[in-house]
Structure 1
């Protein structure tokens, strides 16, 4: 496959899986000069890359230089160079050890009561409406509130947090360059986000509390385990990563129910199946589409020679649909128990995965128990125009109508 036009078409947002299939079959390791990347789509290659930090660096600086409008580098330099996701050992090992404490199974499980309280409040509120935007009313606010409370920042500012988070990630779009006015707005938004956390960190230095941000500040002050820049980048990363993946998981999970109406009665009858349902959602529509790695030296993937310092777009979404790993990958099957790669693999496996899984389970338990059957407005789904994430901009549902195959007629997966 030498024609890469499909990679940048509107149809790619709506349904990338036929393109992924052609890539896996014809060019599983493809150099795409337009974006300065090599795209990798087969499961075995993707898994190998993610579990081999000695061959493939997580440093994102070269990738950001290639992909982003240079005006959009302001506010992301720190995330590109010193955040947990962009570090290699030994720095990665040091930071990971510090933050792991907050996301152990026991620590995460202790949050369930509060998460359920929040989920019930939000679900009860939307259940009183004849129609509602699932993203705005549930999928966005719940994880933002949870990670805000965990960090010890004011969850009442969740609308700002969501805007800041979106703007921090903006830059790898599928729909072309941003105009000057939009770039100016994004840069100003990032400055606000960074200034907010600077102020929060300074406050924690003067008056530490019982929260994760205070723990990070103490690690800087008492143990010399973090630099001041690392405290800031860790706070920013947790705030962004702590809501984006779960928000997309919730929205994509509801789409799965709408497009596979036989699943809903099974989950209502046996809520214990919800965790298996979520794992299949993670495989079927991965909230994270692509991870980025850089080759430390020349490597061979399959029969393709990739040079040193090549930027790899590691397409976990394509790998999750590889028929060599998942028979009939287009089929949604909650009995599958998939070994998906949506939370990554190896040393960079998502530290927040237990929290995301818990939030997803509680949300669907409450949603299915407290809201009657629902349908969505007709028309195509509105996917956010991102090359790295797969999530909905909005998902307007109508309450109280029977869920059937007709409910999703005209939808685009």
Structure 2
């Protein structure tokens, strides 16, 4: 057993890869080990993590059904999940995604272009943390009247979701969820009578095409996309940019060839993945790598460790744009992240716009980077700040 004080999840590092490296090294000795801080056995090897993610009949996500995400894809299984997945596939089709990209690009240019001509910046709070909300509102066709209130609501809800048993977070989180839900429901009702070409219209039409439209279902879907893709997108951008900044040669290559942006995102999502792992509920007695897992117990599928498993990724500690391996950053199997296409669009546009605006972008050598689990108060591995010279 790993004592809480000794857990890799309790440490900070100047590199986003340290957590994965440390846990993968442990996994070479023990494929499954109980971590007191995470209050669950850590599953550490790639083959075991990937197999459990695919095996939703044994390793379930149904524990999400007790909170505000109860109607989201992550909480559903069986035919309910399949139908809702079909709905989401409609509004994340290739043609719909291309339309979204056209909306996102100018927002990225405006957000990150504002850094042009400056000597330095702190990227997270100044730009990255505000960008996803602006993108989401623009895609929904919502006037930016939500402003700071939207950020306040989302932050309160996500902090509650990350620590559902913390009483000081539950009250504000539930209140924020009710207020954001009411606001979103009004948007949905209005959109039902319009034919606008935006994400909200696509969502409404997708539910109608599947015969599944209700205002409540569409509202839950919109909220699920926002809550599931807000802080994760922030840390995905931070991971991609920090990976490139810590590897100046790779940064120079991406700057010279924008076609490498997608490769940089994929390798950053392996090397510096913000989704350190995912909890799952064992719904029947099973075992992982010879370790018994009783029904009713939780396991932590450690994606960070899997990404540094040399059996899956040769020379895993090297950040390599040429790497052609599938990462687990968006999950795998039935619960593969449905918002992955939008997240990739947002991050690619942000990286491209930032590199265009800041031709000499580099880390500020006078500031120390700090990566840790729980960054910005959420259950993500990442950083609160990314200080750069521009």
Q: TM-score, normalised by structure 1?
A: 0.82
**1:88 deviation in Å?**
0.9
Distance 1:17 1:223 in 2: 41
Correspondence 1:340 to 2:340: no
* Aligned counterpart for 1:114 among listed residues 89, 103, 106: 103
Distance 1:285 1:184 in 2: 33
Q: Does structure 2 conserve the Cα–Cα contact (< 8 Å) formed by 1:147 and 1:242? A: no
For residue 234 of structure 1, give the secondary structure of its aligned residue in structure 2.
Answer: helix
Match of 1:5 in 2: 5
- Of stretches 249-258 and 339-348 in structure 1, the one that deviates more from structure 2 is 249-258
Question: CA 1:155–1:248 in 2, change beyond 3 Å: closer, same or farther?
Answer: farther
**Structure 2: 5+ residue stretches without partners:** none
Question: CA 1:178–1:269 in 2, change beyond 3 Å: closer, same or farther?
Answer: same
Question: CA 1:242–1:387 in 2, change beyond 3 Å: closer, same or farther?
Answer: closer
For residue 218 of structure 2, give the secondary structure of its aligned residue in structure 1.
Answer: helix
* Aligned counterpart for 2:274 among listed residues 279, 284, 287: 287
**1:245 deviation in Å?**
2.8
Correspondence 1:393 to 2:384: yes
* Aligned counterpart for 1:151 among listed residues 140, 153, 156: 140
For residue 7 of structure 2, give the secondary structure of its aligned residue in structure 1.
Answer: helix
Q: How does 1:5-404 map to 2 (within 5 A)?
A: 5-7=5-7, 10-11=10-11, 15-32=18-35, 35-61=38-64, 77-79=67-69, 81-171=70-160, 180=168, 184-205=171-192, 209-217=196-204, 224-374=211-361, 375-376=363-364, 377-381=366-370, 383=372, 384=375, 388-399=379-390
Distance 1:127 1:397 in 2: 13
Q: Does structure 2 conserve the Cα–Cα contact (< 8 Å) formed by 1:220 and 1:228? A: no
Once the two structures are superposed, residues 99-156 of structure 1 have per-residue CA deviations (whole angstroms, 9 ceiling, x without a partner) of 1111112221223332221221122212143332312343233332222222333345
Count of aligned pairs between the two proteins = 383
Q: Does structure 2 conserve the Cα–Cα contact (< 8 Å) formed by 1:12 and 1:19? A: no
**1:222 deviation in Å?**
8.5
Match of 1:68 in 2: none
Distance 1:362 1:215 in 2: 22
**1:279 deviation in Å?**
0.8
Distance 1:393 1:156 in 2: 27
Question: CA 1:318–1:231 in 2, change beyond 3 Å: closer, same or farther?
Answer: same
Distance 2:247 2:313 in 1: 18
Question: CA 1:206–1:112 in 2, change beyond 3 Å: closer, same or farther?
Answer: closer
Distance 2:83 2:222 in 1: 16
**1:39 deviation in Å?**
2.1
For residue 113 of structure 2, give the secondary structure of its aligned residue in structure 1.
Answer: helix
Question: CA 1:244–1:324 in 2, change beyond 3 Å: closer, same or farther?
Answer: same
Question: CA 1:326–1:270 in 2, change beyond 3 Å: closer, same or farther?
Answer: same
Question: CA 1:268–1:228 in 2, change beyond 3 Å: closer, same or farther?
Answer: closer
**Structure 1: 5+ residue stretches without partners:** 65-76, 400-413
Q: Does structure 1 conserve the Cα–Cα contact (< 8 Å) formed by 2:3 and 2:36? A: no
**1:7 deviation in Å?**
2.5
Q: Does structure 2 conserve the Cα–Cα contact (< 8 Å) formed by 1:279 and 1:337? A: no
**1:307 deviation in Å?**
1.1
Distance 2:285 2:225 in 1: 33
**1:45 deviation in Å?**
0.7
**1:178 deviation in Å?**
6.1
Quote the RMSD (CA, aligned, Å). Answer: 3.0
Question: CA 1:93–1:157 in 2, change beyond 3 Å: closer, same or farther?
Answer: same
Q: Does structure 2 conserve the Cα–Cα contact (< 8 Å) formed by 1:297 and 1:309? A: yes
Q: Does structure 1 conserve the Cα–Cα contact (< 8 Å) formed by 2:113 and 2:353? A: no
For residue 394 of structure 1, give the secondary structure of its aligned residue in structure 2.
Answer: coil
Distance 1:172 1:30 in 2: 25
Q: Does structure 1 conserve the Cα–Cα contact (< 8 Å) formed by 2:367 and 2:387? A: no
